[in-house]
Each structure stands twice: as structure tokens, then as C-alpha cells.
Chains A and B, each alone.
Chain A
Amino acid sequence: MTDSPLTTPIVFLLGPVPVTLPVVVTWGLMAAMTLGSALATRRLRVERPGRVQTVLELVVETLRRQIAETMQADATPFLPLLGTLFLYLAVANLSGLVPGLKAPTAFLETAAALALVVLLASQALGIRRRGLWPYLKGFAHPTPLLLPLNILSELTRAFSLSVRLFGNVMSGEFVIAIVLSLAGLFVPVPLMALELLLGLVQAYIFTVLAAVFIGGAVGTIEKG
């Protein structure tokens, strides 16, 4: 662990495009998640579902319910985006605990990319649900004087999203790496358990905040 945690290692170059470690790990996670989903949903049954199907249904239904409670609206249209956000974040955060792997979310680029997706998605969904002019007029609410501040708050919210995620995951991994290098093999285990919890909590917080931002943009709840 001599590398700075703030540097993004390049695995290979794809023409002019540098393919970095978080991208490669993300591809692996994508493949695993897609393959797992395809296998798990291969033989779904209405009557007497199996254990795997029950867990899947529980996860999907819980996600939908949480999103609906947060957005105060029907969650089905937002489930693919926000559900995938939570699942990817949870898997990505926990992947850091696998020896030899580094969580993609421990890199600022991944957190920034996710925050950017949430920012753009909330703008696009807001415009689609409310219309361009009423949505844009919302930035000048309650007074046009607040227009720059509202635009700034929109950007800073996305920025804070990405920094919070990156900071938490990166610092956790960094602390574990330091303790591991100083104390030995089994000493970081409690810290790793804490990191496991922390990863899930961060995924939950990021997803809930994204749901709040999108809910505020589409007008189902007050803008935060």
C-alpha cells in the first residue's frame, strides 16, 4: 500500500482511453450481478417460490417500498435506477473486503460518476414530469434572487453525495490497510465488520438522498 489512495491506477489503455482499476472492477461486478440475476430469475414460480426467489422478491419489494416511502409516489418507474444504485453501491462497497480487490467506490471518479448520473437523472425526470418551463421556473422559487443559489445547491448536493461516499469508503479501506500493515492478519477483522456495516449504510444513504433529489425534481416531495 505505497500508492496514494487518491490516485487511480490504469490497468490498460483502450486506444486513447485509459481503462482504470475501478472500471475493470465495475465490469467484473456488473458481470457477476447480471449473471447472478439471470440465473436467479431463470425459473421464477408464482406458486411455492424457492429460497433464492424469496430473497430476490424480498430485496426488490423492500427496495420498492423504501423508494415509495421516500418519494411519496409509485416507485416502479424509479426502481431500476435507484434500486440498481443501491445494489451496485452495496456490492461495490463490500467488494473492498475481498482480498486483492479495491472497491470502485473508494475512487472519487466512481462516486462522482454516480453523483453525476443522479444529478442528470433528476434534471431529466423533473423536466419530463413537470415540463421544461415549470421546472426551470422552480429554480427561481420563491424569488428570482435565489436562482443562482438554487443552481449552486443543485451542484453542491451532487458534489457532497460523491465526496461523502468516496471519503467514507476510501477512509475505511485506508484504515484497514494501515492496521493490517501494522498489527497483523486478524486484528483488522472488527474493523472489516464495521466496514461491512458502513458500506451498506453508505449505499442506503446515497440511494435515499438520490431518491429525495429525484422526488424533489419531479415534484412528489418538497425539494431538500
Chain B
Amino acid sequence: MHIDGWTILLQAVNFLILVWLLRRFLYRPVLAVIAERQAATERVRSEAEAARQAAEAASRSLEDQRAALPAERDRLIAAARAEAEAERAALLDRARIEADHALEEARNRLADERAQALGALQRHAADLGTQLATRLVRDAPCGTLTRPLLEEACAAVEALPADRRHALGDGTEPVPVRLAAAGPLPDEDVAHARDRLAAALDRPVALELTEDPSLIAGVELHFAHSVVRRSWKQTLAEAKEEMTRHDSARTDAGALA
């Protein structure tokens, strides 16, 4: 048996050349295609994985949102309740204030109306009283009521200070005095009054008698610049005014209270 060394060498070289050729023409292109396909597959798989993770994340997010919904709902309800409560309280306060205001206004109006009614009633009562008194006094005999008032008027002139009594005369002589009475006076009363006035003024007096039924009863002594009034007309007017003023003051005090 003969083993040819050249053949061994050539076959070894042939094999190595074939290795190189197949690597160039078979393995490299086929492996490149396989690698490219694997890369594409991996790319698709990673994209799918990314999509899956995104979907999972979205699902988790939705789940979290869904889990948070009751809490959010409770929070919103509580907020709405609190807001409604605050609104209700504000409305109640406003209503209370308005009611108080309306009540106050009503009270004031009522007090005003009552005061007005009372005033009107008082005025009516005063008028009625005045009318009654006037009728009573008119029905009474003239002398009985007028004489004391004439005495009072003379006494009032006498009670004045000397300088004022002197000023009543206005420097004229006799001093002109108009004696107005509600009805005719007896002569002795007129004479008596003239004497007293002359004594008080320290000068003669010229009395001019006039009738004034509106005086009801009593007299008025008209000097040049002043008047001494002692009549039921004046008394009743003063009484009425006093009564009205007093009652209105009392009504105001009652309203204030």
C-alpha cells in the first residue's frame, strides 16, 4: 500500500479552499439573511412587547383611575356638600338679615303709623276736648268767667317791671288800650279795669272796647306794641298745644323704647 503525500497535501489544500469558498458563497450570505430575519423578528417582537407594555401601562393607568374614581366621587360629593352648606348658610344669613331688616322696617313703619294714629287721635281728642270746653264755656254765663280773667290780665300788667310798664304806654297820654272781650262786659268791670291799668301805668288810660267771640271767654289787652291775653281761647290753645307736645314727646319716647 502506497500513500501519496502530494495527494494528501493537495486534498488538504483543496479542502481549505473549499472552506473559504463556501464561507464566501454559502455561510456568510445565508447567515446574514437569517440574522436579518432574526433582527426583523426581534424588532417586531420588541415592538409588540413595547405595545404590550404600553397596553399594560394604559390598563394599569385605567385601573388606577377606576380605583381612584370612588375617592374622587366622594371628594367631589363632599366638596359639593360643603359648597351647598356654605351657600345654604349664606342664604340663611342673607334671609335672616333681610327678614330682620324687613321686620325692623315693619316695626318702624308700625311705630310711625301708630305714632301718626296716636298723634291724629290725640289731635282729635284735643280738638274734641277743646270743642267740648269751648261749648261748655260758651254755655256758661259770660261775666262769671270773664271777670276773673280780666282781673288776671290787670294783675299781669301790674306784675310787670316798672320800665316795661312804662314802655307799654309808648309815651302817649292817655294810653290807648283796646280791650277785646268775648261778649259785652259790665260797665263796673270796665271801669274797674281802667282804674287798675291807669294805676299800673301811672297814666290815664283810654279803653276801646271790642267784641271778639273767638275768645270764648276772657279778655285781651292790646297795647301799642304788645298784647296781654287772658282768654279761654288762649288757654285752650295753650292746653291743646301742651297736650299735643306732651303726647308726641311721650309717643316718641315710647317708639324709641
Interface residues of A (CB under 8 A from B): 6-8, 17-20, 22-23, 26-27, 30, 33-34, 37-38, 40-41, 44-46, 49, 53, 56-57, 60-61, 76, 79-81, 83-85, 87-88, 104, 107-110, 112-114, 116-117
Contact = CB atoms under 8 A, between A and B. Distances in A.
Interface stretch (B28-36, B55-63, B154-162, B218-226): B28-36
B25 A38 contact: yes
B14 A23 contact: yes
Interface of B: 1-4, 6-12, 14-23, 25-27, 29-34, 36-37, 40
A159 to B, nearest CB: 12
A60 B25 contact: no
Given A37-B26, A44-B33, A56-B30, A84 B15 contact: yes
B4 A17 contact: no
Contacts of A107: 7
Contacts of A37: 21-22, 25-26
B22 A83 contact: yes
Contact of A22 (B9, B11, B36): B11
Nearest to B2: A7
Contacts of A30: 14, 17-18, 21
The residue in B4, B23, B32 that gathers the most chain A C-beta atoms within 10 A of its C-beta is B4
Contact of B22 (A17, A45, A57, A87): A87
B7 A41 contact: no
Contacts of B31: 60, 76, 79
Contacts of B12: 113-114, 116-117
B24 to A, nearest CB: 9
A109 B14 contact: no
Contact of A44 (B10, B18, B27, B29): B29
Given A79-B27, A110-B11, 6 more contacts: A23-B14, A26-B11, A46-B37, A79-B31, A113-B10, A114-B15
22 contacts: A19-B10, A20-B7, A23-B10, A27-B14, A30-B21, A37-B25, A41-B30, A44-B30, A46-B36, A56-B26, A60-B31, A60-B34, A80-B19, A80-B22, A83-B22, A83-B27, A107-B7, A108-B3, A112-B8, A113-B15, A117-B15, A117-B16
A20 B4 CA distance: 9
Contacts of B8: 109, 112-113, 116
Contacts of B14: 23, 26-27, 30, 113
A41 B40 contact: no
B18 A23 contact: no
Given A37-B26, A46-B36, A60-B34, A81 B11 contact: no
Given A23-B14, A37-B25, A57 B33 contact: yes
